[in-house]
Amino acid sequence: MSFAEKVVVVTGAAAGIGRATALRFAREGARVAGFDVEAAKGPGLVEEIRASGAEGAFEAVNVAEPASVEAGVAAVLERWGKVDVLVNNAGLGTAVPATRETPEQFRQVIDVNLNGSYWMAQACGRVMQPGSSIVNIGSVLGSTTAGLPQAAYASSKAAIIGLTRDLAVQWTGRKGIRVNALAPGFFPSEMTEQYPEGYLDMMGFRIPSGRKGEPAELAATVVFLASDAAGYVTGQTLPVDGGMTIT
């Protein structure tokens, strides 16, 4: 599972799961480029990456904007000459009742979660070489519900499953690029901080493991899927949910 000399791009890298993932790849020896709209957090991320002994960079990228995505990927190519791994982690969540959700609210979630993942995969897929890997971060809410009104979010994450499957069929055999997805359960993040007070504790009965996940646990699974150790795995969506989807 060595990532020495590998170039890894992580979107939504400024905080939470994205930050944990970027730092885990850095500890595995990768050169890590973090993409995020929160530009102010970029220098701190790069400092942490470099403190682990790895090369790091940050690009202020809005994944919902194809031009921004293209500019970010071009900057990585100019710096390191390649992209070996893409982690599509950037995401946006809402909890708005369906009768009150505006077109703008719905479109914004789809633009970031689904369209943004596609624009990133498209830009990186054009330049990736055989042996490269893409890991999309979906959600268990793409295949189950959790009691909140999340039509936009759930729709976007269900679509990630289909996107992952289709890109794997298109690219694994022809281009040598594996494409997989993770479906996280409940992990503490900026998104879950918006949930109603006590909501995550209330949902504990659905998790056989009896607890929320830790970002480091998800990051470790991302690293596995992106590595040569998972070289015969493609087109799959792997739940990382403490057993939530089996209850």
> Is there a contact between 121 and 171 (Cβ–Cβ < 8 Å)?
no
Spatial separation of the C-alpha atoms in residues 141 and 235, rounded to whole Å: 18
Helices 103-110 & 151-175, crossing angle to 10 degrees?
30
Q: Clarify whether 195 is annotated catalytic.
A: no
> Is there a contact between 11 and 35 (Cβ–Cβ < 8 Å)?
yes
Helix ranges restricted to H, the chain: 16-27, 42-51, 66-80, 103-110, 116-125, 151-175, 199-202, 215-226
Q: Which of 118, 153, 195, 199 is catalytic?
A: 153
Query: Which sequence positions are flagged as catalytic?
Result: 153
